[in-house]
Amino acid sequence: MIREILSRLKIRKPKPVIRLKGGAPSRGCVAISYLTWPFIVGLDEGKMRGHTNAYEVMEMARAFQEQGFWVEVCDWDNTEYNPPSDCRIAIDIHGNLERWDKVLPKACLRVLHATGPHWLSYNRGELDRIASIRDRRGVVLTPWRQVTPSKGVEVADKATVLGNEYTIETFAFAGKPFTRIPISSAYELPWPERRDIAEAKKRFLWVGSFGMVQKGLDLVLEAFAHMPELELTVCGRPEKENDFFRLYEKELKRMPNIRLHGWLDMGKDDFLKISETHASVVYPGSGEGGAGSVIHCMHAGMVPVCTRETSVDLMDFGVLIKEGSVEAVQTACRDFAAMTDQEVEIRALKSYEHARRVHTREQFAKNYRAFALDIIK
């Protein structure tokens, strides 16, 4: 009854703001617009490993606390919170920095923490893929990953990025200094000792959350529907996107070489079993800030087969999907499957070692602390 009355009165629960004490004497405030729930549930909560951002925002706050700042954290979509008058550094992932600019002290350092590419590149990438499906299949699907425009990079004095040079290039027009802080990984997994490379190189994994078109599942499904000699495992929930699932139901449910596994916890035994039978992850994304699912797969000894827009380092071990087309996916996957067992083993080991050297929680914390110390100076 009380809940119904409150609902009718439209009484809104105030959005949370986390306030964290720094050392003494205080050096002022650092305001962070990102996520608050990780501070509420704590590091031991299971969902802390569902995405890398939960751990990363806590490390960002800790880096400034250790230097004597008190830290206030709001959610990225909180349009009510404003930093205090003694704010020394303001950090935002998308739209709040532009709003805050009017109330921040002039001397406050404004920092964009870019978790993805510039909104124009991001939105256009998904819409171009949807237009391509329209031309191939005669259906216009719903975009799932569109974000609101923002002038955060124009307002910012400095910026950080989780991805690589692709993501940085989407912001290059603004002429702001960028610091790369590679995305972390929620998991560090054992090397798949029992994997039969001769068989595993013919099996490809696609894994992603929501936004099937933005993450290239349509291209992968159409490519493997015409490559019966290769196998594909799909880990995700495409059924949550009704129009996409209807359009690709045949590929997802009635192709002998395509298996819809469903949602996958990458820290559980199911994923470890997949890593023992699959040698690569195929991911033709249209715009990422460093695809976390691909990095997790690299931690399990898989070779990334990706577009440049995935913003994952391919170096001398990955395979580049040269464009966002069905044909380009087929070419990259066939080229990988045609490699010798020895070459695939070498590439997989290099991928594994790169992930363990660059994309860990420990390395993220080290890199972010170095950045924090630099801007404090």
- 131: in domain: no
Task: Clarify whether residues 255 and 161 are in a common domain.
Answer: no
Q: Which residues, at least 6 apart from 87, have a Cβ–Cβ distance to it below 8 Å?
A: 28, 29, 30, 31, 104, 105, 108
- 124: in domain: no
Higher-scoring residue by pLDDT: 268, 182: 182
What is the predicted pLDDT for the residue at 11? 57
- Answer whether residue 75 shows pLDDT above 80: yes
Residue 114 maps to which CATH number?
3.40.50.1820
- 44: in domain: yes
Residue 210 maps to which CATH number?
3.40.50.2000
Task: Clarify whether residues 174 and 210 are in a common domain.
Answer: no
What is the predicted pLDDT for the residue at 6? 47
Count of domains observed in the chain: 2
pLDDT tens sequence across 150-163: 999 999 999 999 99
Q: What is the mean pLDDT of residues 136-143?
A: 97
Give the integer Cα–Cα distance in Å for 135 and 11: 47
Per the document, the length of the chain is 377
pLDDT bin (cut points 50, 70, 90) of residue 46 is low
CA separation, residue 172 to residues 98, 140, 158, 374 (Å): 18, 32, 12, 21
Q: What token pair was written down for 16?
A: 């949370």
Task: Clarify whether residues 169 and 221 are in a common domain.
Answer: no
What is the predicted pLDDT for the residue at 311? 97
- 137: in domain: no
Q: What is the mean pLDDT of residues 178-194?
A: 93
- 125: in domain: no
Task: Clarify whether residues 283 and 305 are in a common domain.
Answer: yes
pTM for the predicted model, two decimal places: 0.92
Query: Closest Cα partner for 137 from 234, 246, 240, 216?
Result: 246
Classified as helix, coil or strand, 97 is: helix
pLDDT averaged over every residue in the chain: 93
Task: Clarify whether residues 371 and 345 are in a common domain.
Answer: no
- 192: in domain: no
- Please name the amino acid found at residue 313: D
- 186: in domain: no
Task: Clarify whether residues 113 and 245 are in a common domain.
Answer: no
Task: Clarify whether residues 160 and 202 are in a common domain.
Answer: no
Q: What is the mean pLDDT of residues 270-290?
A: 95
Task: Clarify whether residues 211 and 155 are in a common domain.
Answer: no
Task: Clarify whether residues 167 and 30 are in a common domain.
Answer: yes
Q: What is the mean pLDDT of residues 303-331?
A: 98
**Structural domain of 106:** 11-119+145-181+360-376
CA separation, residue 56 to residues 43, 83, 108, 186, 313 (Å): 11, 21, 22, 10, 20
Task: Clarify whether residues 60 and 174 are in a common domain.
Answer: yes
- 128: in domain: no
pLDDT tens sequence across 201-233: 999 999 998 899 999 999 999 999 999 999 999
pLDDT tens sequence across 50-64: 678 999 999 999 999
Task: Clarify whether residues 220 and 159 are in a common domain.
Answer: no
Residue 204: phi and psi, rounded to 5, are: -120, 145
Strand runs labelled E in 52-104? 70-75, 87-92
Task: Clarify whether residues 284 and 336 are in a common domain.
Answer: yes
- Answer whether residue 4 shows pLDDT above 60: no
Give the integer Cα–Cα distance in Å for 284 and 310: 7
